[in-house]
Amino acid sequence: MSTYSDQLVRYNDLGISLDFSKLPLTPDFFSSMGDKITRAFNAIDDLEAGKIANPDENRMVGHYWLRNSDLAPTPEIKTQIDDVYTDVLEFAHDILDGTIRPPQGGFYTTALVIGIGGSALGPELIADALPGVGLDMYFLDNTDPDGMYAVLERLPLEETLVVVISKSGGTPETRNGMLVTQDFFRICELDFAQQAVAVTGTGSKLDKTAEAEGWLRRFPMEDWVGGRTSVTSVVGLVPAALQGIDVEELLEGAALMDSRTRIHNVADNAAMKLALAWYKATNGKGEKDMVVLPYKDSLVLFSKYLQQLIMESIGKKEDLDGNVVHQGLTVYGNKGSTDQHAYVQQLRDGIANFFVTFIEVRQAMTDFVEVDPGVTAGDYLQGFLRGSRQALAESGRASITISIPTVSPLTIGMLIALFERAVSFYASLVNINAYHQPGVEAGKKAATTFLNLLTKVRQSLSETPETAAAIAARIGEDEEAVYHCLIHIGESDDNAEMNWGATADQDTFRKLSDEELEEEDDEITIIED
């Protein structure tokens, strides 16, 4: 038992523990990592003190100040944090008690949050994990029009507050969701601006739009907080407060974990030990994936949230010295015991290219029914967790188990801070910048290139059927890229037609003539009549 006890980190007063017994961290390993550990502790100290921690963008990184504004490096930043927090709580209170009402009267009952990535995943996690007593929460987090309308058509629109979240205000997915929603309001003869809230950077495109159109409210996003670490900022607090969640408790949980993992003592620092476990499991090179298995339905989105937090932070081509390193840590998962009927079979018997992070919730609020004599459904859930953990260990598969008493604002705050700090530590251990995302920016640029080409191809269509090769040659563009544009146009544009050939080379595309379009309009009119 003493050996097992040595592999535990327990914060008894907080009710949270981490069990590394299935991925043991030995004194020899700590010794070998000594210089890296010292560097990581010093790096996070510098970060919290306000030193530039994102050198590529010349920015401070301040999400830890959000949980304790006294740590902010300047009085101005402290005041900014405190003022925004107060404004958020007051606004949410006014919405929930009916001081602020919809233009049509009555009360707000629903909130629609429009965002992408960190501007949606964090709020979605909170909304899904924690029961609220306020507004019902819905999200638009993609630019899929079918998905948007599936959500919009379910909303009680006259009672819906729309929250648009984008630091720049130019993020395409968020902008598109906003424009589609605005049009939906217009069709329903409602004034979007009177029911809209902007969470964005001061002076951004969205900020200027909201000011010019007279939106209901604008909240400023902090320049020194990145999307994937923004859940305890105004990004996460506005939706959470509107949902009626105790955001003070959420921030308290994060602050408590920050405090416990600020100490330069590896044995008692859960976040540093977690980062070191990742390093040991993956040889510091991401050689194995992390499978996240929370054994609680309310935490089903936690693996998705961690996927962005960890992969966007750690997945980098170059280290801080400019060396090509191709770092990364792949994260996936769903929930237990669902996964025992899905991919745990491969985890047990297949390729050993992973380690598991189990998340245990020790208490169940409603576990009264005996499904077998003396055994409840909650007992089964615990049995499946422990059984999977043991079965994997017997097969030589490593795992970490994180245990919390309940799912509450306090424990969710602790989990968020635990993983945020583990990411900070791990990034220092492998010497990369955890706070930029050049790969994401590259994807955005490539998308813009495609959209520009799409416009060019659309304008080049003639009424005579042509192959992709012919059109590409005529406009001087890559044949394959033109073909993808044509497929999209053929399937989505009402004024275009495609005809499948025996092969892709033989597919033809054309625009419809004015006469053909008029005939189609006449047919539609007849059908409607």
What's the pLDDT tens digit per position in 395-430?
999 999 999 999 999 999 999 999 999 999 999 999
Per-residue pLDDT tens for 121-147?
999 999 999 998 999 999 999 999 999
Per-residue pLDDT tens for 195-243?
999 999 999 999 999 999 999 999 999 999 999 999 999 999 999 999 9
Give the pLDDT band (50/70/90) at residue 305: very high
444 is catalytic: yes
* Catalytic residue, candidates 341, 491, 515, 528: 341
Provide the pLDDT for residue 522: 62
287 is catalytic: no
Write phi, then psi, for 332 (nearest 5 degrees): -150, 170
Give the pLDDT band (50/70/90) at residue 366: confident
More confident: 109 or 344: 109
- As a whole number of Å, the end-to-end CA separation of the chain is 80
From 306-310, 340-344, 347-351, the region with the lowest mean pLDDT: 340-344
Per-residue pLDDT tens for 94-120?
999 999 999 999 999 999 999 999 999
Per-residue pLDDT tens for 20-66?
999 999 999 999 999 999 999 999 999 999 999 999 889 999 999 99
Give the pLDDT band (50/70/90) at residue 342: confident
Domains assigned to the chain? 2-54+252-435 (3.40.50.10490), 65-245 (3.40.50.10490), 439-528 (1.10.10.10)
Whether residue 440 is predicted with pLDDT greater than 80 in this model: the reply is no
Provide the pLDDT for residue 179: 97
Provide the pLDDT for residue 526: 45
Mean pLDDT of 314-325: 96
Q: What share of the chain in percent tops pLDDT 90? A: 89
Q: What share of the chain in percent tops pLDDT 70? A: 98
**What CA–CA distance (Å, rounded) separates 40 from 258?**
15
Give the pLDDT band (50/70/90) at residue 344: confident
Mean pLDDT of 321-342: 92
Q: Please provide the DSSP assignment of 423-449 as one string.
A: HHHHHHHTT--TT--HHHHHHHHHHHH
b/e burial code for range 178-191 (CB count within 10 A of at least 16 → b): bebbbebbeeeebe
477 is catalytic: no
* Catalytic residue, candidates 312, 360, 420, 466: 312
**What CA–CA distance (Å, rounded) separates 430 from 279?**
8
Whether residue 1 is predicted with pLDDT greater than 80 in this model: the reply is no
Provide the pLDDT for residue 178: 97
Burial of 447 (0-12, 13-18, 19+ CB in 10 A): exposed
Per-residue pLDDT tens for 180-204?
999 999 999 999 999 999 999 999 9
Burial of 343 (0-12, 13-18, 19+ CB in 10 A): middle
Give the pLDDT band (50/70/90) at residue 438: confident
**What CA–CA distance (Å, rounded) separates 513 from 528?**
23
Q: What angle do CA 37, 430, 445 make, to 5 degrees?
A: 145
* Catalytic residue, candidates 78, 205, 264, 444: 444
Provide the pLDDT for residue 41: 98
E strand or H helix that includes residue 223: none
Provide the pLDDT for residue 2: 60
Mean pLDDT of the chain: 94
* Residue pointed to by tokens 């130019």: 170
Mean pLDDT of 485-510: 94
Neighbours of 74 (CB within 10 A): 10
Instruction: Report helix angle 34-48 to 409-429, nearest 10.
Output: 120
